[in-house]
Amino acid sequence: MSHDSEQPILRQIHDLVAEEHQLRSTHTGIGLNSAERSRLDAIERELDRCWDLLRHRRAEEEYGANTGGAAREGADAEDIPEI
């Protein structure tokens, strides 16, 4: 995978991590309400899919094998929603 082709996935990961940290840090000691908890759960699932997609693509490039190429639930770069 060329470095440039990783950028959309890495940018999405960066944005999701920033949102996750913001949610956690602004609610330290007071907890999250149900909407915030739901959003945090969604962020965690999306981060898992993004990292899986990146790992699959890197493995395909490195080993030349088709590892399925898709992350959890069949996500692809085009499936990664913008925030």
Q: What is the pLDDT of residues 19-76, one digit of tens each?
A: 999 999 987 888 889 999 999 999 999 999 999 999 998 888 888 866 555 545 555 5
Structure tokens at 51: 């990292």
Rounded CA-CA distance 28/71 in Å is: 32
Cβ atoms of 25 and 43 closer than 8 Å: no
pLDDT tens-digit series, residues 52-68: 999 998 888 888 866 55
- Residue 78 has a pLDDT of 55
pTM over 0.85: no
With b meaning 16 or more CB within 10 Å and e meaning fewer, what string describes 7-20? Answer: eebeebbeebeebb
